[in-house]
């Protein structure tokens, strides 16, 4: 068959050759070893937390090699597109300090010499590439009525893989003659373009994924769709065209793309283009309802939405450090050894990413966040809480603004010391956590069996109470009252014969704490008392 003639028959409107585009975009002028990475979300809803996780891998890989990290908007699926999702994605990436250096920038003008960075504006380029493959006999028109979407392909492949791992998937239309094709075109039949696969799945080849390492991969034998009948390319062709022309050096993408890798590589070979480096990141999972593992789901898990962490008031550094920890598990040790360095100093590496899917663990996130917040000054905490409250709790924001000095004192308890208290992990918990400092004590953790001793102690201790000037004097005062009432002031004596006493000094302090805060645990009691002041303390001692 005269493939050139066929290409012109199928694409009479495409006047630019694929070589035109290959030559149009110049090689990037970057230092040796510089890597070019990209984040390429589809604007189909909120930004998935996994996209920030992937963007961190892109960001570090580019930054550590003096390369470029850019953003492309993969908006070829207009049916699933959600208004403003692209802008939100860009803004969210910037909020989490993985702002792309080049490319698509939401409401702002794109920057960079390799645009357009929005796929829907690149249709002519994809067509030129598809036409080229037809012209060299490596792609053909398919007139089968149901043109497949990317999702169709994934679903069909998954289904077929379940039945057999040796799928023969040569499309029926690959054997049409020129005359048959011509008559279909004349009849106005819509067509897709498919790759004419030459692969043999009995054969394998070696490929090194930068995360998975060296693997044997079966050759592709699927005539994958390159252009749908509406002229729009699915991911396979679009990513090849864009990553090639935009000068990507490493495609860092989710593991869900790994099964399509053989087809993608065959496509590069068919074009005679150099294959790119790939790194397939494991996908963030959680325990499912039946004790198994499943991917974080946009439908089921609120924490799949990156904005969730903003509504809860997690400082952004907490989420960032948590995600870095999921990517490179030695981050935790590095952080312990370098408590004061910014996380950007950490030596991130793709090769340190494990192959198991990491589990999203709130306890771990909260621990990391407690450490992050414990290092903040009282002013930083105040500003963090206020910024959060202005958006999510206006009444509390008003209180914070009207009582700024007082609140800063509260936030300074057990803070700005060599061993600060690690307790708060998100701003939305602060109002409740310090409720006893912001209003009256509304609940108590006092236990039933302690009630009589509690009353007796607080009546005695709270009588004409005046807070001593130093912590030492204060503590001596507690000891004195406790000892008069039959509490042990010597811990050794108490340990040897606990039943001889009503309790020890710790118990006495617990009663004071309960009276003032309603809780058994709180930050430093003397500091709390200093901030509350004598009038408020005496009010709370009235029982
Ligand atoms: N648009 C694709 C996605 O959102 C991008 C995959 C890739 O990074 O190559 O899954």
In this prediction, residue 169 has a pLDDT band, given cuts at 50, 70 and 90, of: low
Average pLDDT for 153-181: 69
Three-class SS state of 228: coil
Residue 160 pLDDT:
59
| 89 Cα to the center of ligand 1, angstroms | 13
Is pLDDT above 80 for 153?
A: no
Q: Which one, of 422, 319, 410, lies nearest residue 373 by Cα? A: 422
Is pLDDT above 60 for 167?
A: no
Is pLDDT above 60 for 148?
A: no
Average pLDDT for 244-258: 97
Bridge partner list, 250: 277
Task: State how far the Cα of 437 lies from the Cα of 423, in Å rounded to an integer.
Answer: 16
Residue 121 pLDDT:
97
Q: CB count, 10 Å around CB of 136?
A: 15
Average pLDDT for 456-478: 96
Dihedral sign, CA of 250, 251, 252, 256? negative
Average pLDDT for 311-330: 97
| 43 Cα to the center of ligand 1, angstroms | 10
Q: Which one, of 433, 451, 427, 466, lies nearest residue 515 by Cα? A: 451
Is pLDDT above 80 for 151?
A: no
State the average pLDDT for the chain: 93
Q: Is the peptide bond before 256 cis (omega within 30 degrees of 0)?
A: no
Listing DSSP states for 340-381 in one string gives TS-GGGS---GGGS-SSPPBP-HHHHHHHHHHHHHTS-HHHH
Closest residue by CA, ligand 1 atom 7 = 253
Task: Please indicate whether residue 42, judged by its CB atom, sits closer than 6 Å to ligand 1.
Answer: yes
Average pLDDT for 441-461: 93
Closest residue by CA, ligand 1 atom 4 = 41
In this prediction, residue 298 has a pLDDT band, given cuts at 50, 70 and 90, of: confident
Is pLDDT above 90 for 22?
A: yes
Residue 156 pLDDT:
57
Average pLDDT for 377-401: 97
In this prediction, residue 452 has a pLDDT band, given cuts at 50, 70 and 90, of: very high
For residue 41, which atom of ligand 1 is closest to its CA?
4
Average pLDDT for 461-472: 95
Task: Please indicate whether residue 253, judged by its CB atom, sits closer than 6 Å to ligand 1.
Answer: yes
- Tokens 């300090």 correspond to 97
- Tokens 């308890």 correspond to 413
Listing DSSP states for 141-164 in one string gives EE--SSPPPHHHHHHHHHHHHHH-
Residue 39 makes CB contacts below 8 A (sequence gap 6+) with: 51, 54, 55, 58, 69, 70, 71, 72, 93, 98, 100
**What DSSP designation does 274 have?**
P
Task: State how far the Cα of 100 lies from the Cα of 260, in Å rounded to an integer.
Answer: 26
Task: Please indicate whether residue 41, judged by its CB atom, sits closer than 6 Å to ligand 1.
Answer: yes
* 3-state per-residue secondary structure call for 50-63: HHHHHHHHHHHHHH
Closest residue by CA, ligand 1 atom 5 = 40
Cβ atoms of residues 126 and 238 within 8 Å: yes
Which residue ranges make up each domain of the chain? 440-543
| 431 Cα to the center of ligand 1, angstroms | 40
| 540 Cα to the center of ligand 1, angstroms | 59
Site to probe by mutation for ligand 1, drawn from 45, 90, 235 as the one with most ligand atoms within 8 Å of Cβ, is 235
Residue 77 pLDDT:
87
| 40 Cα to the center of ligand 1, angstroms | 5
Fold of 440-543: Arc Repressor Mutant, subunit A (1.10.10)
Task: Please indicate whether residue 239, judged by its CB atom, sits closer than 6 Å to ligand 1.
Answer: yes
Closest residue by CA, ligand 1 atom 3 = 41
For residue 44, which atom of ligand 1 is closest to its CA?
4
In what order do the strands lie in the sheet containing 36-39? 36-39, 68-71, 102-105, 108-111
pLDDT tens-digit series, residues 70-93: 999 999 988 888 999 999 999 999
In this prediction, residue 421 has a pLDDT band, given cuts at 50, 70 and 90, of: very high
- Which position has the higher pLDDT, 154 or 45? 45
What is the C-alpha radius of gyration for the chain, rounded to an integer number of angstroms? 32
Listing DSSP states for 204-215 in one string gives EEEEEETTTEEE
Closest residue by CA, ligand 1 atom 9 = 253
E runs forming strands in 220-345: 225-227, 250-254, 277-281, 285-287, 293-295
pLDDT tens-digit series, residues 177-231: 999 999 999 999 999 999 999 999 999 999 999 999 999 999 999 999 999 999 9
Cβ atoms of residues 74 and 238 within 8 Å: yes
In this prediction, residue 139 has a pLDDT band, given cuts at 50, 70 and 90, of: very high
């Amino acid at each position: 068959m005269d493939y050139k003639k066929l290409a012109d028959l199928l694409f009479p409107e495409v006047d630019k050759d694929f070589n035109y585009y290959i030559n149009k975009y110049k090689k990037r002028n970057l230092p040796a070893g510089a890597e070019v990475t990209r984040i390429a979300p589809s604007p189909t809803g909120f930004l998935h937390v996994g996209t920030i996780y992937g963007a961190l891998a892109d960001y570090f890989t580019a930054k550590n090699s003096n390369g470029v990290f850019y953003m492309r908007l993969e908006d070829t699926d207009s049916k699933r597109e959600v208004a403003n999702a692209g802008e939100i994605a860009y803004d969210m990436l910037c909020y989490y300090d993985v702002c792309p250096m080049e490319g698509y920038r939401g409401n702002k003008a794109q920057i960079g010499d390799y645009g357009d960075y929005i796929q829907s504006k690149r249709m002519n380029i994809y067509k030129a590439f598809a036409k080229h493959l037809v012209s060299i006999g490596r792609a053909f028109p398919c007139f089968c009525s149901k043109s497949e979407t990317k999702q169709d392909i994934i679903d069909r492949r998954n289904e077929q893989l379940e039945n057999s791992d040796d799928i023969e998937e040569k499309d029926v239309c690959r054997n049409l003659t020129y005359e048959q094709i011509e008559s279909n075109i004349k009849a106005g039949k819509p067509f897709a373009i498919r790759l004419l696969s030459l692969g043999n799945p009995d054969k394998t080849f070696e490929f090194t994924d930068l995360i998975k390492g060296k693997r044997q991969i079966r050759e592709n034998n699927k005539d994958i769709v390159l252009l749908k009948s509406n002229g729009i390319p699915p991911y396979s062709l679009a990513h090849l065209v864009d990553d090639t022309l935009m000068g990507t050096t490493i495609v860092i993408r989710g593991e869900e793309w790994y099964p399509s890798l053989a087809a993608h590589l065959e496509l590069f070979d068919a074009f005679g283009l150099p294959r790119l480096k790939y790194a397939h990141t494991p996908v963030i999972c959680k325990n499912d309802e039946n004790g198994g593992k499943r991917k974080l789901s946009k439908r089921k898990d609120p924490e799949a939405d990156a904005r969730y962490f903003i509504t809860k008031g997690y400082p952004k550094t907490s989420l960032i450090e948590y995600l870095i920890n999921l990517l490179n598990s030695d981050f935790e040790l590095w952080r312990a050894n370098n408590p004061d360095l910014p996380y950007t100093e950490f030596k991130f590496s793709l090769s340190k990413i494990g192959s198991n899917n990491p589990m999203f663990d709130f306890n771990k996130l909260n621990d990391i966040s407690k450490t992050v917040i414990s290092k903040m000054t009282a002013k930083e905490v105040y500003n963090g809480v206020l910024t959060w409250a202005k958006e999510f709790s206006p009444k509390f924001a008003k209180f914070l603004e009207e009582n700024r000095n007082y609140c800063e004192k509260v936030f300074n308890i057990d803070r700005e010391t060599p061993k600060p208290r690690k307790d708060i992990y998100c701003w939305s918990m602060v109002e409740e956590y310090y409720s006893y400092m912001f209003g009256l004590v509304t609940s108590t953790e006092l236990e039933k069996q302690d009630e009589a001793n509690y009353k007796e102690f607080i009546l005695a201790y709270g009588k004409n109470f005046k807070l001593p000037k130093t912590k030492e004097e204060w503590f001596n005062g507690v000891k004195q009252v406790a000892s008069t009432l039959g509490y042990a002031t010597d811990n050794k004596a108490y340990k040897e014969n606990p039943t001889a006493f009503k309790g020890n000094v710790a118990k006495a302090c617990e009663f004071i704490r309960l009276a003032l805060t309603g809780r058994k645990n709180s930050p430093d009691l003397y500091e709390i008392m200093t901030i509350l002041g004598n009038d408020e303390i005496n009010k709370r001692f009235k029982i």
